[in-house]
Amino acid sequence: MALTIRGLSKTYPNGVKALRNLNLSIGNCMFGLLGPNGAGKSTLMRTIATLQDPDDGSIELDGIDVLREKNEIRRILGYLPQEFGVYPKISAFEMLQHLAILKGMTQTGERKDFIDALLQQTNLWDVRNKALTTFSGGMKQRFGIAQALLGNPRLIIVDEPTAGLDPAERNRFLNLLSSVASDRTVILSTHIVDDVRQLCPRMAIIVEGELLLEGAPAETIAALNGRVWSKIAGNDDEFRSLESQFRILSTYLVAGQRAVRIYSESDPGQGFHAVESGLEDVYFLHLRPFPHARASASGNGSSNGQPVQ
Ligand code: ADP
Ligand code: MG
């Protein structure tokens, strides 16, 4: 499966530019779309899911023109929106049954077998007769995956599915998603770096509707090898001084003391020590508006992990 997005742009009537000339290719794997709130992730996902039109650009999926042949796409697509609407008082089984009929699964026996298997797969079998309104956040998201899998779609789009889940629920959900991705393409949007690190062989970072980086997480991390440094920042004056000299990636606390991580191509001295780079460093390097920072993250100039201007 190959999804090719070319020159996608969208400006909402209120003037917000949600997508700016976005180009992206997504192959057969779990693809992570990482970006902060407002980056344009949901806009992009709704557009791929044929629920809204862009102003410009094209999307092609294995030779199908996504923006024109909407019904073709809907037949092979499963979608879990960020806001999964109203949860009715009916049970998980009844709701899946209803949605399956809408999807055209008309054979009663076959439909029941399929739904039973989905309930097992998403670990909702024991609660299948309980009302959806009584479900926890994690159960709702697993139900969301179950409904997205109706009709056995080849492409699944899940929009920020782990936001608001507690650690155990999130873990269970990520495991489910990785099992689902074993035989289909999954596009996952998230603002949680760890979701991408745990699940995705490929990823893109988008900020303010622009694609800033596309690559394999491991390669983008390796491109920062030897360029991430850390030290305890001391008081506010010292911190401000560091801020004016260096590109700060993040600040964090170690036993109550503030530490900083910076990006520097050479040894910054001043008591900094080299630390192992991580995906958060990659993310923060691209997240902050710092004109020359994007160019300096390109590493060895290979096509992977290279920032896109
Ligand atoms: P994300 O999912 O990454 O948080 P969105 O695609 O939801 O980003 O939003 C991108 C930008 O577009 C944001 O600034 C958001 O406020 C704006 N936006 C999203 N939907 C609409 C809409 N229907 N009308 C106007 N602005 C919108
Ligand atoms: Mg969103």
Query: Which CATH architecture fits 221-286?
Result: 2-Layer Sandwich (3.30)
Domain boundaries, the chain: 1-76+154-215, 85-150, 221-286
Q: Which one of the ligands is nearest to 54 CA? A: 1
Q: What is the pLDDT of residue 129?
A: 97
Q: What is the largest CA-CA distance in the chain?
A: 71
**Nearest ligand 1 atom, CA 12:** 25
Q: What is the pLDDT of residue 272?
A: 96
What digits encode the pLDDT tens for the residues 269-283?
999 999 999 999 999
Res. 303: pLDDT tops 90: no
Output the residue whose Cα is nearest ligand 1's atom 20.
43
Contacts of 135 (CB under 8 A, 6+ apart): 87, 92, 127, 143
User: Domain 1-76+154-215 is in which class?
Assistant: alpha beta
Res. 65: pLDDT tops 70: yes
Res. 301: pLDDT tops 60: no
Determine the straight-line distance between the first and last CA of the chain, rounded to whole angstroms.
26
Ligand 2 center from residue 81 Cα (angstroms): 9
Q: What's the pTM value of the predicted model, to 2 decimals?
A: 0.89
Res. 177: pLDDT tops 90: yes
What digits encode the pLDDT tens for the residues 179-230?
999 889 999 999 999 999 999 999 999 999 999 999 999 999 999 999 999 9
Q: What is the pLDDT of residue 290?
A: 52
What digits encode the pLDDT tens for the residues 18-33?
999 999 999 988 999 9
